[in-house]
Amino acid sequence: QVQLRESGGGSVQAAGSLRLSCVASKYMFCMGWFREAPGKQREGVATIDGDGKIVYADSVKGRFTISKDATNNTVFLQMNTLQPEDTAVYFCAADPEPAVGTSWYECRTVAADYGIWGQGTQVTVSS
């Protein structure tokens, strides 16, 4: 069974930065980050696929950067210019296959597409 191990959460002041890491126990084509704030549904933040294609949620474009170290099955999320509304539990997610349509495939920022989840790491941004 594939396992995901997350690290890097913490508390920062607004405009600060944090970097999250997630190591998978084996290669997964789709890897990404989701977050869940109190009282809200889990939402996609960013994904990266085995070909290097990246998808970002509109709310984090220009502030967050997802990257990977393919050799070590590791994905990173560099979060800059953090705001209080970014406060949430951040989850690493992975799946061996992307979502597939008639003429497309993509590692979407849709939680239901992912079958493997990490335990989550808390990110708290204070104003």
Is 103 a residue whose pLDDT tops 90? no
CA angle 40–44–48, rounded 5-degree value: 165
Please give the C-alpha separations between residue 50 and each of 29, 83, 102, in angstroms, as whole numbers. 5, 30, 20
pLDDT 10s digits, 34-84: 999 999 999 999 999 999 999 999 999 999 999 999 889 999 999 999 999
Of 94, 90, 113, residue with least CA distance to 19: 90
